[in-house]
Amino acid sequence: MKTQNEKYELFTGFRKENNIEAKLLIGSAFKDQGTSYYKIRLMMFPGQTYYLVKNRESVDRYTVYSRIRTEGQETRFLNPIGNGILDPKLHSFMELKFPLLKAQIYMNLYPSNH
| pLDDT per position as a tens digit, 62-97 | 999 999 999 988 899 999 999 999 988 888 899 999
pTM for the structure as a whole: 0.90
What does DSSP assign to residue 52? E
Q: Are 51 and 39 in contact (CB under 8 A)?
A: yes
| Angle 66-102-62 from CA coordinates, rounded to 5° | 45
* Dihedral pair phi/psi, residue 102, rounded to 5°: 50, 45
| pLDDT per position as a tens digit, 33-57 | 889 999 999 999 999 999 999 999 9
For the chain, domain boundaries: 5-108
> Looking at domain 5-108, which CATH architecture does it have?
Beta Barrel (2.40)
Indicate the Cα dihedral angle 69, 31, 85, 113, nearest 10°.
150
Q: Are 93 and 109 in contact (CB under 8 A)?
A: yes
